[in-house]
């Protein structure tokens, strides 16, 4: 028994002695699952993933200006592809880790109907969306509004968030009665509080969210391990699915 205990302690010591840490830039919509995945990753490998969340477009600007990130978990597939083309990332390490879903949401019941007709019917002063120039969910919101023929009508009512996290905050605090947010932000235990319309995916371009290993993470063991964990580990996949994403 004593020998077994000694072996286990030694194994734990070796694991943590070889542990490393990686800095991960994460799109705001993926903040909650990223933190859960990072906790499981540390528990199972000893490596630590330090998560920073924000708008994908801003992360791109920071990365090309030398920000010390090892990994980008983007809200789109275009930004990682661009980073790879510009030799800012390691070729062949890019993959789609999740496919996001857009939802029109209000924390109040009976505001958003099952078909999103409220957008044409009106009855609201403010509609929040993320900045379409830097946030893929914002671009998807604009696509949806245009596909419905409602963009011109609601444009004067738009309250634009810097990223999807701020957009959600605008709606949650009542600064906007409703808004387009990521399904992952409002889905709790398979349910959405308030009223909502999950936007049919035919109304906007697929939100393929890609992960990429940046040049600064090229020789980082923890960075390589985290990407492998995200891509292949069943627990990580289950966490992603539980927040309403597709794989």
pLDDT computed for residue 13 by the predictor: 38
Report the CATH fold assignment for 102-198. D-Maltodextrin-Binding Protein; domain 2 (3.40.190)
* Cβ-contact 150, 119 below 8 angstroms: yes
Report the CATH fold assignment for 2-99+207-242. D-Maltodextrin-Binding Protein; domain 2 (3.40.190)
2-99+207-242 and 102-198 share one fold: yes
The answer for residues whose C-beta is within 8 angstroms of residue 209's C-beta and 6 or more apart is: 27, 29, 30, 73, 74, 75, 76, 77, 96, 97, 98, 99, 100, 245
pLDDT computed for residue 55 by the predictor: 86
pLDDT computed for residue 43 by the predictor: 97
Report CA dihedral (162, 164, 169, 175) to the nearest 10 degrees: 60
**Domain chopping of the chain, boundaries:** 2-99+207-242, 102-198
- pLDDT of the chain along its 247 residues, tens only? 444 333 333 333 334 445 699 999 999 899 999 999 999 999 999 999 999 998 888 999 999 999 999 999 999 999 999 999 999 999 999 999 999 999 999 999 999 999 999 999 999 999 999 999 888 899 999 999 999 999 999 999 999 998 899 999 999 999 999 999 999 999 988 899 999 999 999 999 999 999 999 999 999 999 999 999 999 999 999 999 999 999 9
End-to-end Cα distance, the chain: 44
Q: How far apart are CA 224 and CA 16, in angstroms?
A: 16
The vertex-131 CA angle with 128 and 136, nearest 5°, equals 105
Give the count of beta carbons closer than 10 Å to the beta carbon of residue 208: 18
Q: How far apart are CA 130 and CA 160, in angstroms?
A: 5
């Amino acid at each position: 028994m004593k020998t077994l205990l000694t072996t286990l302690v030694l194994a734990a010591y070796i694991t943590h002695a070889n542990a490393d840490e990686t800095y991960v830039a994460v799109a705001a919509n993926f903040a909650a699952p990223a933190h859960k995945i990072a906790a499981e990753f540390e528990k199972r490998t000893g490596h630590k993933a330090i998560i920073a969340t924000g708008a994908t477009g801003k992360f791109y600007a920071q990365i090309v200006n030398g920000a010390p990130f090892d990994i980008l978990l983007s809200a789109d597939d275009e930004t990682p592809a661009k980073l790879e083309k510009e030799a800012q990332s390691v070729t062949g390490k890019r993959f789609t880790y999740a496919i996001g879903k857009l939802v029109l949401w209000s924390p109040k019941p009976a505001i958003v109907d099952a078909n999103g007709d409220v957008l044409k019917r009106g009855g609201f002063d403010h509609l929040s969306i993320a900045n379409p120039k830097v946030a893929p969910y914002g671009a998807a919101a604009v696509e949806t509004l245009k596909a419905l023929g409602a963009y011109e009508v609601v444009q004067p009512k738009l309250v634009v968030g810097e990223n999807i996290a701020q957009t959600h905050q605008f709606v949650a605090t009542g600064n906007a009665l409703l808004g387009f947010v990521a399904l992952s932000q409002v889905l709790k235990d398979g349910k959405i509080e308030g009223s909502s319309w999950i936007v049919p995916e035919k109304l906007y371009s697929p939100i393929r969210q890609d992960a990429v290993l940046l040049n600064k993470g090229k020789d980082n063991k923890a960075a390589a391990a985290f990407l492998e964990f995200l891509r292949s580990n069943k627990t990580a996949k289950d966490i992603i699915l539980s927040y309403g994403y597709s794989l």
